[in-house]
Chain A
């Protein structure tokens, strides 16, 4: 794995100048590597990770189990992509088991998500059924624990 990618995955937020320092590379080398990773669609982009309970007061999130009928050419891909294109869809995965797609959707309130499901999603030709579950509370968001008490407050600043 590229060292730039490894550093990104470690999760400490660094700008390109700091990344250059850590890896002993020049800033332009870092930029070039990021450009390559993007060009090869390995690294897709940046998004802030927010605490949904604090930052997004007016957001409702749901996971939707969707059954669809596969097509002779391309299986699930065309329909899945079609569904994934909706703005309300944050993520979309093909699953094994009792349904086909797991769709993560957002809306500003319950009604908006409900109308996305009933008016947009279920009416796509090939969608056989949907089951919607609304999220109540987040405990961990993309690697960040949300309810952990702050740790390590008692650690001395100098120790042997």
Chain B
């Protein structure tokens, strides 16, 4: 065959779309002078005391495998961190698994619980991996749209309407990448009731929870009756600015963690020990650095939201994360053309909302994980671009 091996690729993998972000990335990569608001990670470097702990661990010769579940010292720290900050109590010996980022935790959670053909409800626009991860686990993704009117919080009625026989899992991510949406407690309570009624397992990705600017973050796992049917996912990438360490964790009932452990054990063995040591330091002493970064994100959010609205793009104020998700509908362009035009004409990169699923149409994601000066310059250019568009119309 002369297709270079293409015919060997599994059908369900061949059928996956390339990430819209990757396509856009190749364009932006060729324009080093562009201002990028497309970065889905902190602009801060990992706080020095955490990096220093990793160096110290390396000096001490910590270069081995660890327990499959992760270092018990780390699992104890995770257990008390989750108890103190989320009010959920997990046993470090049996209910906590340390993974290579929330990315891996999510993947093994899905693979551990899904049978071929099972259905998974998730809200959209959402993190780019959700739907592909479900498909890779041979299950069927069912998207539930969220909308600007609800500031991209989830509407339980829409979840209930989307439910169909065969649904096994409900995936949640609040605060949400890319919208910054959160869901208030009352709605989570209703969702919880529905999950119990339909016997759904909830997988809750709370990776942005520390970056909640208004109100208190509530984990659905902390609601009555939910801990036993929730896999709680969290990590260090965002709040602790540790993306490159590739470390995160899952907490849940023992049988589920055990099932995930099997997948993890045979595919990953364990998370890197240096990252685990760094994570221990982060949980023990990282709170002041997290608070300081959060304060800056908060000011940047206020700035970027105000500037987008002044520029003529309707933009709700995201209650968490470091993403603004302005509507670009007033320009009359679709997401991709808006973003391509902005890049071509003004050299500012934002990510088309459609990269996060069809319900992101009409929006763009702008990360405010960058300096004030760049935010000001970028939004000035957006304003100029929107003005030009309205004159052309």
Residues of A within 8 A of B (CB): 6-7, 10, 12-14, 18, 21-24, 151-152, 155-160
Q: Does the CB pair A156–B29 fall under 8 Å? A: yes
A17 CB → nearest B CB, Å: 9
Whether a CB of chain A sits under 8 angstroms from the CB of B34 is yes
**Secondary structure class of chain A's binding surface, majority of residues:** loop
- Given contacts A14-B372, A22-B372, A159-B38, A152 and B25 within 8 Å (CB-CB): no
In the complex, the answer to whether B373 meets A18 with C-beta atoms within 8 Å is yes
Which partner residue on chain B sits nearest A152 by CB separation?
B45
B384 at the interface (CB under 8 A from A): no
B-chain residues with CB within 8 Å of residue A6 when the two chains form the complex: 295
Across the interface, which residues of B come within 8 angstroms of A10, CB to CB?
296
Interchain pairs with CB closer than 8 A, number: 66
Cβ < 8 Å to A, chain B residues 32-65:
32, 34, 36, 38-41, 43, 45
Which bucket holds chain B's interface residue count? 20 to 34
A7, A10, A159: which has the most chain B beta carbons within 10 Å? A159
B373 touches A157 (CB 8 A): no
CB pair A23–B299 under 8 Å, yes or no, is yes
> CA–CA, A155 to B295, complex, Å?
23
| A160 near B19: Cβ-Cβ < 8 Å | yes
The answer to whether B21 touches A160, judged by C-beta atoms less than 8 angstroms apart, is yes
Q: With A7-B299, A22-B372 in contact, is A157–B45 under 8 Å at CB?
A: no
| Cα distance, A156 to B243, chains bound together (Å) | 12
Which chain A residues lie closer than 8 Å to B283 at the CB level? none
* 24 contacting pairs across A/B (C-beta < 8 A): A6-B295, A13-B373, A18-B372, A18-B376, A21-B372, A21-B376, A22-B299, A22-B376, A24-B302, A152-B43, A152-B45, A155-B39, A156-B25, A156-B39, A157-B25, A158-B21, A158-B28, A158-B29, A158-B39, A158-B349, A158-B351, A159-B41, A160-B21, A160-B128
Cross-chain contact A159 with B40 (CB below 8 angstroms): yes
Task: Let me know if B307 is at the binding interface, CB within 8 A.
Answer: yes
In the bound complex, CA of A12 to CA of B300 (Å): 12
